[in-house]
């Protein structure tokens, strides 16, 4: 059974075949959604176009979420490329590598502004630019991580940005609710992506999760994609303003098992 037949989805943040956004795009496509993928700049264009070709009938659109002009151009392009939007997936984050190590209090003002602009404000900016392109009862989904609400060493500034993102999810859910538009987050467990490898000690996190999480395993982009399909579908018609964990239950643990060592 295809849960998204006839729905149109725009997925942001596809960078390569390992990215979480790619797993989400594959899952949405597998359930019948028609896709448009955005990309920033020539650096990732080839990879995004390869995925689009694999997912037949998928459009690619250049968009720099830090540019109001680029967002306006995206809004103008959507009717021709996709029609209206039933599903928007926000999977965009960036911080300078030096701000993902050391002490948070050493973060520069410019580094803080950049990370919050790209990683958090971009959701507000996308919704603002595309609000007239949303179909009623659309679904907006943003990717986040446990570091928004817990201390994850070396996640640092990105945790602060994700905390802002999660707050935006709640406020946007309220603002868009009168049109039946739902806004939710997916807090994915650690997955081996190019972005995640920028976080110091990331491989240790991957080793730890299966020892601690109730399901005793790490998660995959397919796991995250399955949750995205649910949140994008009519099965979640009364679900909004919340963050949904896909981390094998790791977030629910109050302490590590006594036999961990």
| 196 vs 91: CA distance, rounded Å | 13
- H/E/C letters for each residue in 82-150? CCCEEEEEECCCCCCHHHHCCCHHHCCHHHHHHHHHHHHHHHHHHHHHHCCCEEEEEEEEEEECHHHCC
| 90 vs 118: CA distance, rounded Å | 11
Identified catalytic residue from 39, 105, 145, 174: 145
User: CA-based angle 72:127:245, to the nearest 5?
Assistant: 140
Other beta carbons within 10 angstroms of residue 36's beta carbon come to 22
Longest dimension (CA), the chain: 58
Residue 108, sorted as left (phi over 0), alpha (psi -120 to 50) or beta, turns out to be: beta
Would you call 155 a catalytic residue per the annotation? Answer: yes
Would you call 171 a catalytic residue per the annotation? Answer: no
| 254 vs 261: CA distance, rounded Å | 17
Q: Tell me the two tokens of residue 90.
A: 């926000």
Identified catalytic residue from 39, 105, 155, 174: 155
Other beta carbons within 10 angstroms of residue 195's beta carbon come to 19
| 142 vs 243: CA distance, rounded Å | 9
Active site residue ranges? 145, 155
């Amino acid at each position: 059974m295809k849960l998204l037949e006839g729905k149109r989805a725009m997925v942001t943040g596809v960078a390569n075949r390992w990215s979480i956004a790619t797993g989400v795009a594959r899952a949405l496509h597998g359930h019948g959604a028609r896709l448009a993928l955005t990309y920033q700049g020539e650096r990732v264009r080839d990879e995004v176009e390869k995925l689009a070709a694999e997912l037949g009938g998928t459009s690619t659109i250049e968009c720099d979420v830090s540019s109001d002009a680029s967002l306006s151009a995206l809004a103008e392009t959507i009717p021709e490329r996709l029609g209206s939007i039933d599903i928007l997936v926000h999977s965009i984050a960036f911080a300078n590598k030096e701000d993902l190590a050391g002490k948070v209090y050493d973060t520069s003002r410019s580094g803080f502004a950049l990370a919050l602009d790209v990683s958090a404000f971009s959701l507000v900016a996308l919704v603002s630019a595309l609000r007239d392109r949303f179909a009623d009862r659309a679904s907006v989904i943003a990717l986040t991580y446990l570091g928004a609400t817990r201390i994850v060493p070396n996640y640092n500034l990105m945790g602060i940005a994700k905390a802002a993102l999660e707050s935006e999810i709640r406020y946007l859910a309220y603002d868009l609710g009168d049109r039946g538009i739902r806004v939710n987050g997916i807090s994915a467990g650690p997955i081996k992506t190019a972005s995640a490898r920028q976080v110091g000690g990331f491989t240790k996190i991957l080793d730890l999760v299966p020892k601690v999480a109730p399901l005793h395993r790490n998660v995959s982009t397919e796991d995250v994609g399955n949750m995205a399909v649910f949140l994008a579908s009519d099965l979640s018609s009364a679900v909004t303003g919340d963050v949904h964990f896909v981390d094998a239950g790791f977030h629910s643990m109050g302490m590590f098992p006594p036999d961990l060592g």
